[in-house]
Amino acid sequence: MSERTILFPNLGITLQNVGKTINLFGFEIAYYGIIIALAMACGIALLLHVAKKTGQNDDQYFDVSLITVITALLGARIYYVVFSWEYYKDNLLEILNFRGGGLAIYGGVIAGALTVWIYTRVKKQNFGQFADTICVGLVLGQVIGRWGNFFNREAFGGYTDNLLAMALPKEAVRAGEITQEMLEHIQVIDGVEFIQVHPTFLYESLWNLALLIFLLWFTSRKHFHGEVFLLYLTGYGIGRAWIEGLRTDQLLLPVVGIPVSQMLSVLLAIASVLIIAVRRRKERNQKKDEPNRKSESTD
């Protein structure tokens, strides 16, 4: 065993020599960056496919995707830095170190949604329709992107001995993310100390995969533009609220100490459900009023 080993003991899986970087032509490239790039490429490919399949102009989606990738990355980084300022205020150069991880998806979603809104306003397009199409690509990107956390040995939860439990070398993770309960259950294998944790990156990846399948199925059944995006916010919010509660690297609101992503997940999920309910009710009322309007026009 070495510090590059990752175990899933209850599944009988041992992964040897899982590095954080790969050397290509003398350059060290982080797997985290490779995974994020792959996630973006696959996400864009899927949303372009959905745009074309639903009779939309896929060239417009390609254009807005290129812009949104940049703004979303910046938003994800800014969000993470803002809520980790106690660390970054004394390590300002680390703000630019994207290779070490530190991207918060909600920051990316907020920045990306704002970018798409501005784009649709300028191009006089329907924001809800664009959001519906783009969010399926976003979910696929999240399914893949979470595996960057696997290579970085981050975004894990507290101690567990469930079926999917993951064991990581203690020296390979940040000390601030190790809890007392993990230390109480520490295991020494071939001279290497391992902590056993919830693989929350895996939970979220699998949750998002199920959400993606549902959204793709629902796309042709939606009642109004923007409903798929609202269901994404609802589904992702529910899953993230649960998963965030397990993690040991939560970004906390200053003073109150509440996990900011968990609170935002709950608020977005509730708001989205309410908006869907209001829009659906308005649609039903309009359908009920249609016979009356037709009879009045006939009279």
Q: Is residue 258 in a domain?
A: no
pLDDT at 27: 85
- Host domain of residue 127: 6-221
Q: Model pTM?
A: 0.90
The CA distance from 204 to 215, in Å, is 16
Task: Say how many CA atoms lie within 13 Å of 273 toward its Cβ.
Answer: 10
pLDDT at 99: 61
The CA distance from 171 to 4, in Å, is 10
Q: Is residue 119 in a domain?
A: yes
Q: What angle do CA 202, 204, 205 make, to 5 degrees?
A: 65
159 token code pair:
């101690």
- What does each C-alpha distance from 269 to 143, 230, 241, 254, 260 come to in angstroms? 19, 8, 9, 23, 14
pLDDT at 104: 86
Tell me if 147 sits within 8 A of 201, measured CB to CB: yes
Q: Is residue 78 in a domain?
A: yes
Please identify which residue in the block is written with the tokens 């290497």.
192
Decide: helix, strand or coil at residue 241. helix
Q: Is residue 295 in a domain?
A: no
Decide: helix, strand or coil at residue 189. strand
Number of Cβ atoms within 10 Å of the Cβ of 191: 7
Q: Is residue 276 in a domain?
A: no
Give the residue among 1, 29, 30, 25 at the shortest CA–CA distance from 14: 1
Sheet holding 166-169, edge to edge: 13-15, 6-8, 166-169, 192-197, 187-189
Q: Is residue 254 in a domain?
A: no
pLDDT at 226: 96
Q: Is residue 205 in a domain?
A: yes
Residues whose CB falls within 8 Å of the CB of residue 89, separated by 6 or more in sequence, listed in order = none
Give the residue among 255, 164, 163 at the shortest CA–CA distance from 204: 164
Q: Please tell me whether 146 is known to bind a ligand.
A: yes
Q: Is residue 155 in a domain?
A: yes
pLDDT at 296: 57
Task: Kindly give the confidence (pLDDT) of every residue in the chain, 299 residues in length, as a single tens digit, with 9 standing for 90 and above.
Answer: 788 999 999 999 999 999 988 888 888 888 988 999 999 999 999 999 999 999 999 999 999 999 999 999 999 988 888 888 777 877 777 777 766 567 788 999 999 999 999 999 999 999 999 999 999 999 999 999 999 999 999 999 999 999 999 999 999 998 889 999 999 999 999 999 999 999 999 999 999 999 999 999 999 999 999 999 999 999 999 999 999 999 998 888 887 888 999 999 999 999 999 999 999 998 888 777 666 655 555 55
Number of domains making up the chain? 1
